[in-house]
Copies of this chain bind each other. A is one copy, B any other.
């Protein structure tokens, strides 16, 4: 048993605000050692300071309070450290993304909007190995990596070569609502099985306006905008998911500027494709 402190003293010791301490009590994250039955005054024990400090550090890193709680109640040091490490990993990815966004913003401001070549064409149906999932945009990058890793593994396991470039279908609602069922696929010869969560699908034929985006994902909305402009001005947009084909993807190169993504916007072709 250590010495007991008022909430104010404990606040000064830990640099957590009194309001925050009361909130942590309310949600059961950090209960004071005692509460006076008459006055309601909280009293903290000096031994609670280390716990409070861990909370503060994790909050400084924007870890949600739910996860902070999970860290504190972790049954073992290994579990606890795993949880913290996974958060640190997430933060590192976020830092990398932020840096990319900064670069991309500089780019957007400095460079004039470049012309994007748009082609109108028909795509035949394709038989593919696919993974379908409801995905929210926040988790999209992770999902994308996992999906293609899995599909590629299935192809590798059967020794077959892909029958075309990897691609994905994005319903309009994915962009509008930031959540929708996305389909990632790789064309594969019929003898390749689709194990586990994977399935065999036929991607239907479509007529589309396509543009090739060069470089990182971060900048893709510029190509989307250019493509959308052309469709609005020169074609009839129709329903149906947007398609991306990954001509050169992160699986092929480490050089972001070498990435090539073909973006297809469904249209009704009023003239035969040129």
Contact = CB atoms under 8 A, between A and B. Distances in A.
A15 interface: yes
A232 B105 contact: no
Interface string A99-112: 00110110011000
A98 interface: yes
Interface string A215-253: 000001110110111001100010000100000000000
A211 to B, nearest CB: 12
Interface residues on A, range: 35 or more
Given A18-B176, A98-B91, A102-B88, A229 B61 contact: no
B95 A12 contact: no
A116 to B, nearest CB: 12
A61 to B, nearest CB: 6
B224 A12 contact: yes
Interface string A4-27: 110011111111011100000000
28 contacts: A2-B232, A8-B172, A8-B176, A9-B228, A9-B237, A10-B228, A12-B224, A13-B227, A13-B229, A15-B175, A15-B224, A17-B177, A17-B178, A18-B177, A49-B229, A50-B113, A53-B225, A54-B105, A54-B109, A57-B105, A58-B105, A61-B101, A61-B105, A81-B109, A84-B109, A88-B105, A91-B98, A95-B95
Interface hub of A10, A13, A50, A172 (most chain B Cβ within 10 A): A13
